[in-house]
């Protein structure tokens, strides 16, 4: 077992790369997964659930590479309760300095019906698979999926079996976000009190946010004796998401007076990784999101503003700098040089190599020529342009639109497809619709547009627009993002960004590819 028995310590288990990626459309590339894992490792996350190795060759490779590159964090892989999954998981994580196998099975009546196992048959399966995992790795975590809807006597029985078989961490998942704080605390408290051997393992909590109580349920579980919280950056995850890492970490820090537990997370790195996860997942953070939302430290009410000027503590229980927000918002412009841009981006949490800086500097100059003043939020948007030059088969080369109150709106589009330029003119119900019709004319597809959102990055008529789109084709859901001072151009780039992601998803699921889709309904 790699964890200490420090009763004041809460271990942070991040599953952004596994459960978070299960959000429809949130699939990340191999390089993006490695980047996020590196940021999690750097900020002091204790355990990183890097993926589900049996799901695909791509997932296996990502978990394996993350394991090889990790410096401090425990690297965990997920495996269902069968020997093939567990062997594949171990193969992926075995090179980590601190590997962990996480195996699970659904124990509630509803989930027992899926593999059609009796209680005794499932108990035997748990003993066999946890024992097998423990023979491979000395750090094994076991989860009874849908634990909060499992019969109490049976839950105690299977938890005891897993402990005797060698599990060092017992995770209690609220898989469907069903429980409430008082139940969450009592469940952990009773398990620790009543299950033989419970005092020798770490109990963990894994909460979903279907009723909006994931953070509260996780903190209640800690009060009940859990010492590991499973969470994701920005609360990313299937359905309504998971417990948000930034929320539980900052709650424990700010209210240490009534929650006397600590984590090892460097909170000043929260904002940077929040922004990066939002970018690579294509899931923008809602403005009023706790801790990392755009409005989390904004004050508009006159009474609030007056109080802030007199003493920030009047209306702020934490400082922006506590989560990595700059206390100043210095303006950049077209006369700013590379050194100033590098320094500013570093302050915002972006460390760039020389080649990256060269590319960003060109785009910064283009933006500065169109905007009189470039603010911090403009630079953050610039860093999430939603383009991957190495993998993008579709590229917008030029776009001109005609709009107005008279007649149909028109879009003249030139787009490169696999390096070859094609052009078309299409009409539509508005300039954005005409532009999307033009893209579809050059690159025919059956994907349906499920979501189209536009947000202004800053104030003013020259503000950049950040556009997010979500598209679905044959069960594949992808998202795209882009930003530009021209809303129609940003829309076109976001649409094409989503299509490029769709092309990748098509290739992965095509016959003969090295990636096979897994039934995610079997995963907690």
pLDDT digits (tens, 9 = 90+) for 41-67: 999 999 999 999 999 998 999 999 999
- Indicate whether 305 pLDDT > 70: no
Residue 322 CB neighbours (<10 A): 17
> Region 300-311: what's the mean pLDDT?
44
> Region 342-363: what's the mean pLDDT?
83
Give the residue carrying structure tokens 């005409």.
434
> Region 190-201: what's the mean pLDDT?
97
User: What SS3 class is residue 99?
Assistant: strand
pLDDT for 385: 61
- Residue 58 in contact with residue 30, Cβ under 8 Å? yes
User: What SS3 class is residue 67?
Assistant: helix
Task: Give the span between the Cα atoms of 15 and 26, in whole angstroms.
Answer: 13
The structural domains of the chain, with segments of one domain joined by +, span 11-281, 302-382, 394-509
User: Judging by DSSP bridges, how do beta strands 409-417 and 47-51 pair with one another?
Assistant: unpaired
Instruction: Retrieve residue 207's tokens.
Output: 């909460």
Lowest mean pLDDT among 292-306, 350-364, 378-392: 292-306
Instruction: Retrieve residue 239's tokens.
Output: 């359905």
pLDDT for 462: 76
> Region 434-450: what's the mean pLDDT?
95
pLDDT for 387: 53
Instruction: Retrieve residue 272's tokens.
Output: 């940077």
- pTM here is 0.81
Phi, psi of 354 (to 5 degrees): -60, -40
- Residue 146 in contact with residue 106, Cβ under 8 Å? yes
Pick the CATH number of 11-281 from 3.40.50.2300, 3.30.390.30, 3.40.720.10, 3.20.20.70: 3.20.20.70
- Residue 181 in contact with residue 220, Cβ under 8 Å? yes
In whole numbers, what is the pLDDT of the chain averaged over residues? 88
Task: Give the span between the Cα atoms of 127 and 142, in whole angstroms.
Answer: 11
Residue 422 annotated as lining a ligand binding site: no
pLDDT digits (tens, 9 = 90+) for 137-157: 999 999 999 999 999 999 999
Using 50, 70 and 90 to split pLDDT, how confident is the model at 302? very low
pLDDT for 313: 54
Helices (H), 232-301: 245-254, 270-281
Task: Give the span between the Cα atoms of 37 and 70, in whole angstroms.
Answer: 8
Using 50, 70 and 90 to split pLDDT, how confident is the model at 300? very low
- Residue 224 in contact with residue 259, Cβ under 8 Å? no
Task: Give the span between the Cα atoms of 190 and 144, in whole angstroms.
Answer: 16
- Indicate whether 519 pLDDT > 50: no
Angle at 228 between CA 49 and CA 124, to 5 degrees: 75
pLDDT for 379: 83
Residue 206 annotated as lining a ligand binding site: yes
pLDDT for 524: 42
DSSP string, 308-335: HHH-GGGT-SS-GGGGT--S--PPB-TT
Phi, psi of 504 (to 5 degrees): -65, -45
Task: Give the span between the Cα atoms of 145 and 517, in whole angstroms.
Answer: 21
pLDDT for 327: 58
pLDDT for 512: 56
pLDDT for 363: 83
Q: Which residues contact 42 (CB under 8 A, 6 or more apart)?
A: 266, 269
- Residue 42 in contact with residue 269, Cβ under 8 Å? yes
Q: Which residues contact 405 (CB under 8 A, 6 or more apart)?
A: none
Instruction: Retrieve residue 414's tokens.
Output: 């030139």
Beta strands in 146-200 (DSSP E): 169-174
- Indicate whether 1 pLDDT > 50: no
pLDDT digits (tens, 9 = 90+) for 456-511: 877 777 788 889 898 999 888 888 888 888 999 999 999 999 999 899 888 777 65
| Buried-exposed string 192-209: b where 16+ CB fall within 10 A, e elsewhere | beebeebeebbbbbbbbb
Phi, psi of 269 (to 5 degrees): -100, 5
Task: Give the span between the Cα atoms of 367 and 373, in whole angstroms.
Answer: 9
pLDDT for 310: 52
Instruction: Retrieve residue 252's tokens.
Output: 């424990």
* Fold: same for 11-281 and 394-509: no
420 vs 510 pLDDT, higher one: 420
- Indicate whether 346 pLDDT > 50: yes
Task: Give the span between the Cα atoms of 111 and 58, in whole angstroms.
Answer: 28
Residue positions counted in the chain: 524
Which CATH number applies to 394-509? 3.30.160.270
- Residue 243 in contact with residue 219, Cβ under 8 Å? no
Residue 19 annotated as lining a ligand binding site: yes
Residue 124 annotated as lining a ligand binding site: no
- Indicate whether 307 pLDDT > 50: no
Task: Give the span between the Cα atoms of 223 and 242, in whole angstroms.
Answer: 19
pLDDT for 407: 74
């Amino acid at each position: 077992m790699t964890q200490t028995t420090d009763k004041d310590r809460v271990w942070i288990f991040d599953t952004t790369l596994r459960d978070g990626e299960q959000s429809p459309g949130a699939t990340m590339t191999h390089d993006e997964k490695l980047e996020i894992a590196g940021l999690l490792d750097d900020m002091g996350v204790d355990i990183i659930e890097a993926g589900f190795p049996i799901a695909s060759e791509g997932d296996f490779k990502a978990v394996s590479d993350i394991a090889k590159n990790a410096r401090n964090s425990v690297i965990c892989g997920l495996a269902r309760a069968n020997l093939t999954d567990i062997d594949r998981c171990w193969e992926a994580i075995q090179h980590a300095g601190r590997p962990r196998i996480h195996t699970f099975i659904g124990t509630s009546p509803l989930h027992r019906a899926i593999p059609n196992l009796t209680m005794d048959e499932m108990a035997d399966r748990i003993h066999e698979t946890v024992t097998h995992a423990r023979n491979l790795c000395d750090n094994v975590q076991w989860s009874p999926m849908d634990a909060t809807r499992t019969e109490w006597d049976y839950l105690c029985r299977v938890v005891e079996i897993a402990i005797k078989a060698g599990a060092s961490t017992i995770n209690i998942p609220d898989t469907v976000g069903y429980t409430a704080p008082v139940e969450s605390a009592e469940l952990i408290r009773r398990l620790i009190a009543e299950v033989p051997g419970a005092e020798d393992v770490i109990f963990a909590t894994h909460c979903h946010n279907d009723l909006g109580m994931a953070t509260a349920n996780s903190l209640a579980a800690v009060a009940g004796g859990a010492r590991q919280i499973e969470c994701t950056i920005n609360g990313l995850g299937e359905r309504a998401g998971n417990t948000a890492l930034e929320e539980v970490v900052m709650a424990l820090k700010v209210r240490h007076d009534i929650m006397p537990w600590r984590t090892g997370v460097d909170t000043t790195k929260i904002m940077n990784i929040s922004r990066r996860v939002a970018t690579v997942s294509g899931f923008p953070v809602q403005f009023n999101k706790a801790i990392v939302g755009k409005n989390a430290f904004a004050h508009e009410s006159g009474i609030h503003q007056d109080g802030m000027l007199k003493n920030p503590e009047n209306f702020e229980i934490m400082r922006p700098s506590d989560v990595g927000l700059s206390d100043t918002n210095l303006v950049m412009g077209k006369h700013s040089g590379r050194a100033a841009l590098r320094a500013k981006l570093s302050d915002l949490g972006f460390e760039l190599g020389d080649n990256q800086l060269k590319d960003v500097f060109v785009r910064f100059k283009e933006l500065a020529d169109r905007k009189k003043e470039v603010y911090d939020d403009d630079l953050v948007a610039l860093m999430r342009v939603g383009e991957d030059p190495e993998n993008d088969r579709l590229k917008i080369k030029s776009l001109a639109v005609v709009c107005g109150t008279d007649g149909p709106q028109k879009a003249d589009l030139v787009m490169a497809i696999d390096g070859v330029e094609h052009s078309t003119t299409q009409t539509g119900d508005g300039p954005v619709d005409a532009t999307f019709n033009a893209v579809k004319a050059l690159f025919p597809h059956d994907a349906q547009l499920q979501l189209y959102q536009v947000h202004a990055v800053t104030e003013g008529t020259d503000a950049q627009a950040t556009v997010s789109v979500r598209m679905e084709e044959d069960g594949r859901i992808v998202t795209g993002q882009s930003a530009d001072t021209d809303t129609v151009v940003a829309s076109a780039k976001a649409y094409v960004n989503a299509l490029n992601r769709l092309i990748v998803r098509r290739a992965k699921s095509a016959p003969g590819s090295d990636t096979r889709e897994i039934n995610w309904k079997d995963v907690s």
